[in-house]
C-alpha cells in the first residue's frame, strides 16, 4: 500500500513540493518520495498501535474462552 486511505493536506503539499522541485535530479526526488512514504507509513503504524490493545492484553481478558 503506497498511500493511506486518508492523507492530510500538509502531507500532500509536502509530496507535491518534492515532485515539483526543479533543482533536484530525478533520483533525488525518488529517494525523497520513498523516505516520505516510509515516514507516512511509520506514523500510520504508530497511530494504529495506540488504538489497539496488545495481544498479551487481549489474551488476559479472554483467557477463559
pLDDT digits (tens, 9 = 90+) for 37-47: 898 888 888 87
Closest C-alpha among 32, 52, 53, 45 to residue 1: 45
pTM for the structure as a whole:
0.57
- Give which of 44, 34, 38, 35 is closest to 7, Cα–Cα: 44
Q: Are 15 and 1 in contact (CB under 8 A)?
A: no
| pLDDT average, residue stretch 57-62 | 57
Domain boundaries in the chain? 9-61
* Helices 26-51/9-20 angle, 10° precision: 170
- Residue 54, pLDDT score: 59
- Residue range 6-31: mean pLDDT, rounded: 84
> What pLDDT does 1 receive?
45
Amino acid at each position: 500500500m503506497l498511500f493511506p486511505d486518508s492523507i492530510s493536506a500538509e502531507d500532500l503539499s509536502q509530496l507535491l513540493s518534492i515532485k515539483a522541485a526543479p533543482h533536484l535530479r530525478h533520483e533525488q526526488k525518488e529517494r525523497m518520495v520513498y523516505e516520505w512514504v516510509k515516514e507516512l507509513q511509520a506514523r500510520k503504524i504508530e497511530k494504529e498501535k495506540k488504538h489497539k490493545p496488545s495481544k498479551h492484553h487481549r489474551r488476559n481478558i479472554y483467557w477463559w474462552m
